[in-house]
Amino acid sequence: MSTIKGPAVFLAQFAGDEAPFNTLDGMCKWAAGLGYKGIQIPTWDTRLIDVDTAAESKTYCDELKGLVNSHGLEITELASHLQGQLVAVNPAYDLMFDNFAPDHCKNNPKKRTEWAVQQLKNSGTASEHLGIKAHATFSGSLLWHTMYPWPQAPDGLVEMGFEELAKRWLPILNHFDEKGVDVCYEIHPGEDLHDGITFERFLEATGKHNRVNILYDPSHFVLQQLDYLKYIDYYHEFIKMFHVKDAEFNPSGKTGVYGGYQNWKDRAGRFRSLGDGQVDFKSIFSKLTKYECDLWAVMEWECCLKSPEQGAREGAPFIQKHIIESTGKTFDDFAGADIDKEQLKKILGL
């Protein structure tokens, strides 16, 4: 069986304008000092990586990798959530999602999508240059505004939405296939890929493309009240990435899954730091190990109460404590005996 690698940390929520969070070197020193062994790098933050240069220059990637390795760390994956979101944006969300795009693409949805597609392709090439086999992203969404069936969706709407989503992603998926890199969609509310059924719809729409895979994050399933352990049973062969993030769901007589438009700390479903929520990480690590999922355990910090500094300090030992050193032995091997076919027949009464 495979032993899950880690602990690692997603840098996106920690990057900032103040040292040590404003350079890759500074963040590597910080992460290593907290006990992390890997970092996941957001490609939209040019303080940490220039993904366009990384796609053009293997030398740049070798130097980037060398810097990270000099701190005793590995690059677990690159992430392009913001660019992936822009591959498919319903016009209802144009103004808000324009914030994810560079200035020269704002107020121009077609140009914005073209930019996002190229960013994804550059991320695939950069991953190959860095020797990385998996990439994290969002699917984007054309259908999310129809998530609740009122008014009822016209026949054919959902099918058309997934056909269009697949059409936009297939050139990206084919590029990643050429580079030998899996595309791992974070299954996430707000995306058209937000649970098991929608993942299956997209997989079918792409012709079961072999690069369509999953970034598993149980916190998003707690907020949807989806069985996150059974999810692993169904989809373990597709789970190539893992965000270790906690959450809790505390419904009341006033609010439930939809949150009442409240801020995060007042919602029934809210993200918490590791160990402060309701996620059963012991069972998750057990299932992922049982199914021999070869991946990194990457902490993603998003908590409505605890500071990121405390969350980061506590995250590395929390993950380390949950990693199972997989065994190659069976516990009752000591009581076994050499196989003798004649003896087997006698036991069976043959």
pLDDT band at 332 (very low <50, low <70, confident <90, very high): low
Res. 334: pLDDT tops 90: no
pLDDT band at 336 (very low <50, low <70, confident <90, very high): confident
Res. 328: pLDDT tops 90: no
- Give pLDDT, residue 95: 96
- Give pLDDT, residue 113: 98
Query: What is the distance of C-alpha 296 from the center of its chain?
Result: 10
- Give pLDDT, residue 299: 98
pLDDT tens for each residue of 254-311: 999 999 999 999 999 999 999 999 999 999 999 999 999 999 999 999 999 999 999 9
Contact, 323 vs 3, CB < 8 A? yes
pLDDT band at 331 (very low <50, low <70, confident <90, very high): low
Summary mean pLDDT of the chain:
96
Instruction: HSE, CB side, 13 Å, CA atoms: give it for residue 330.
Output: 5
- Give pLDDT, residue 340: 86
Could you tell me the pTM of the whole model? 0.95
pLDDT band at 330 (very low <50, low <70, confident <90, very high): low
What is the number of structural domains in the chain? 1
Closest alpha carbon to 136 in 18, 12, 221, 28: 12
Q: Which domain holds residue 55?
A: 5-347
Eight-state DSSP code of residue 141: B
- Give pLDDT, residue 62: 98
- Give pLDDT, residue 38: 98
pLDDT tens for each residue of 136-191: 999 999 999 999 999 999 999 999 999 999 999 999 999 999 999 999 999 999 99
CATH number of the domain within which 329 lies:
3.20.20.150
Provide DSSP, 94-130. HHHHGGGS-GGGTT-HHHHHHHHHHHHHHHHHHHHHH
Helices (H), the chain: 24-33, 51-56, 58-70, 81-85, 94-97, 109-130, 157-179, 196-205, 218-224, 228-235, 281-290, 308-322, 341-347
Task: Using alpha carbons, list the distances in angstroms from residue 330 to 248, 287, 335.
Answer: 36, 17, 10
pLDDT tens for each residue of 75-97: 999 999 999 999 999 999 999 99
pLDDT tens for each residue of 51-72: 999 999 999 999 999 999 999 9
Res. 333: pLDDT tops 80: no
What does R_g of the chain's alpha carbons equal in angstroms? Answer: 22
From 45-49, 190-194, 231-235, 336-340, the region with the lowest mean pLDDT = 336-340
- Give pLDDT, residue 335: 60
pLDDT tens for each residue of 3-20: 999 999 999 999 999 999
